[in-house]
Amino acid sequence: SPARKNSSYKMNKQGQKGYFLSAITSFLIAVSVSTGDEWIDGMRGVDLPPIISDVATKHIHLAPGTPSHSTMTVTFSTSETCTPLVLLYSVDHPIMDKPRVIFGDDTRQYTSNNLLRDGSIADAYTSDWIHHVRVQGLEPASLYHYYCTCASYAFEEDHDGVSDMRHLLPASIHITEQEGLMKHKLNGGSFRTAPEPVAKGVVNNESIDFAVCGDVGQTADSRSTYQNIAKQHDDGNGFAAILHAGDLSYADGEQSRWDTWLELVDGIFSRRIPLLTSPGNHEIETDGITKDIFVPYQTRFAMPEIRPFEMEPAVLTNSTTPSVFVDGRYDWGNSFYATTYGPACILFMNSYTASYVGSNQYQWVESKLQSIDRRATPWVFVVVHCPMYNTFAFHQNEAQTNEFREAMEP
């Protein structure tokens, strides 16, 4: 649109058939296949470094990294700053008979003064410390169990002068040396990595299953939707991931609602089913003072980014979640990105940043589509919040949708 092209953006067709997954109401797509995911209450071996602290962890969720068959990001929060770590154990690879310790180096926190729906400015909110621990070097199509905790660098020595971790573990952790089993109450879960990609040019006939939803929020119906996904996952569907088309928490500037939403999904699915997200208008959350946008969404999640995010404030916007939005800029990071899962290449796009010809998003998606090997990845999905066409009277002829459709439609 001319209005966007003349705005403060500083921006330095390939017609492919695929599928656009859009959020206009909540929906679920599911096909069955079993992965055998299960919970465990312990890990073999007691030979851990003396590093575990008793800092409480919460709000655990997962996102595949790059590449998805060998990397997973484990995200969790703590109310105090700490050095995050993940204890990892694999059932599928018995040679890994002792927990692997992975330290995190991506801890984020944000403070916001968001606009509320009535136009007022919310009281300043400072988030918990949000840790994104990237676990790399994983085996493809493999089941792993993990625990989230923080490091304590103090240690004690036993009578032989050897460091003894048993003095350092929280009281909730119990070690039975006779069985060689560490049973504890650290928060954690399990995940399965994506299948190994096939060689370029090789036909990939593998099947894989995803759950797809959008506009879910945190109502009784939201809980029912997430419970339905979790039940199908446990009953044999074994979803590789949940693809969320935006409008996650409906915090709308009330930042404590992000905390309650994360508590909701943490209790249902997020510790064991990876979550991939596309931003919706309820993730814009314009700051009432700085005019920054998408800050809670960018801080709380760590999608498989192409490059670090770039953001320009929405100087003309006086709404926390505008339905029509062509102000400001939010590129890269969790805004738009892609991942490959077995036979599927999934592109996540942002309806609420520039998509006109020549924009960062346009150039990226054009290049990405041209690079896809349709024999190795015959399925191509695009997840985006605003449908290019819909029958909902309230969302017709919106500026960002028109711009997106004019640029992106083959």
Contact 65, 136 (CB under 8 A): yes
How many residues are recorded in the chain?
A: 410
- Interatomic CA distance for residues 74 and 65, integer angstroms: 10
Q: What does DSSP say about strands 210-213 and 241-244: parallel, antiparallel, or unpaired?
A: parallel
Residue 395 designated active-site = yes
Q: From the candidates 59, 93, 184, 395, give the one annotated as an active-site residue.
A: 395
- Interatomic CA distance for residues 384 and 350, integer angstroms: 6
**Which residues lie across from 126 on neighbouring strands?**
111
Q: How many CB atoms lie within 10 A of CB 287?
A: 22
- Interatomic CA distance for residues 172 and 62, integer angstroms: 24
Of 88, 106, 108, which is closest to residue 45 (Cα–Cα)?
A: 88
> Around 115, how many Cα atoms within 13 Å sit in the side-chain half-sphere?
24
The gap from C-alpha 32 to its chain's centroid, in whole angstroms, comes to 23
- Measure Cα distances from 352 to 49, 68, 94, 321, 342 in Å: 46, 26, 46, 11, 29
- Interatomic CA distance for residues 402 and 176, integer angstroms: 63
Contact 97, 189 (CB under 8 A): no
**Which residues lie across from 210 on neighbouring strands?**
241
- Measure Cα distances from 77 to 51, 81, 157, 212, 249 in Å: 18, 9, 31, 25, 17
Q: Order the strands of the 84-90 sheet from edge to edge.
A: 100-103, 84-90, 143-150, 188-192
Cβ-Cβ contacts under 8 Å for 404 (sequence gap 6 or more)? 349, 351, 355, 384, 386, 388
- Interatomic CA distance for residues 405 and 387, integer angstroms: 9
- Measure Cα distances from 131 to 64, 80, 128, 222, 279 in Å: 15, 11, 9, 26, 20
| Residues involved in catalysis | 395
